[in-house]
């Protein structure tokens, strides 16, 4: 049964938890590894992840990973403080992070868990 998608706030919290747990270099490796396996989605809805919901450091990691795997959304200009990606890729990245994070990391993050 498919899981309901995280809200942008939960997704932002998840990215911050992952950054704190893995550190920037390891998190970048994980994101590049995950993103490199994704196929072009059938539905081309996009998400705009920005500093409104996540830190600049997380956005920088996403930006670097997006460049490394050439996962740009065509005909979408770059916006400062924003990473534009396919909604399906955003969901799959969040799912991949959730799968790699130990439950303890999620439970100890301010007592809240995005699962």
**pTM given for the model:** 0.84
What was the pLDDT predicted at 113? 47
CB atoms within 10 A of CB 98: 17
Residue 113 is assigned to a structural domain of this protein: no
Average pLDDT over residues 73-90: 87
CB atoms within 10 A of CB 69: 17
Q: Is the per-residue pLDDT at 115 higher than 60?
A: no
Residue 85 is assigned to a structural domain of this protein: yes
Q: How confident is the model at residue 114 (pLDDT cuts 50, 70, 90)?
A: low
Least-confidence region, from 28-32, 53-57, 63-67, 76-80: 76-80
Count of domains observed in the chain = 1
Q: Tell me which of 54 and 5 has the higher pLDDT.
A: 54
Residue 111 is assigned to a structural domain of this protein: no
Identify the CA nearest to 27 among candidates 54, 61, 53, 67: 61
Q: Quick one: three-class SS letters along the chain? A: CCCCCCCHHHHHHHHHHHHHHHCHHHHHHHHHHHHCCCCCCCCCCEEEEECCCCCHHHHHHHHHHHHHHCCCCCCCCCCCCEEEEEHHHHHHHHHHHHHHCCHHHHHHCCCCCCC
Tokens of 109: 């993050």
Q: How confident is the model at residue 3 (pLDDT cuts 50, 70, 90)?
A: low
Domain hosting residue 18, numbered range: 8-105
Average pLDDT over residues 78-90: 89
Residue 2 is assigned to a structural domain of this protein: no
Q: For residue 75, how many C-alpha atoms fall within 13 Å in the half-sphere facing its CB?
A: 3
Q: Is the per-residue pLDDT at 99 higher than 70?
A: yes
């Amino acid at each position: 049964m498919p899981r309901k998608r995280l809200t942008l706030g939960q997704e932002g919290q998840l990215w911050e938890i992952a950054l704190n747990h893995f550190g920037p270099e390891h998190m970048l490796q994980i994101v590049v590894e995950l993103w490199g396996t994704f196929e072009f989605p059938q539905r081309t809805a996009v998400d705009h992840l920005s500093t409104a919901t996540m830190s600049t450091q997380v956005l920088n990691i996403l930006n670097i990973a997006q460049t490394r795997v050439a996962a740009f959304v065509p005909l979408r200009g770059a916006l400062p403080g924003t990473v534009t990606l396919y909604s399906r890729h955003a969901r799959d990245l969040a799912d991949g992070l959730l799968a790699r994070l130990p439950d303890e990391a999620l439970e100890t993050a301010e007592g809240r868990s995005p699962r």
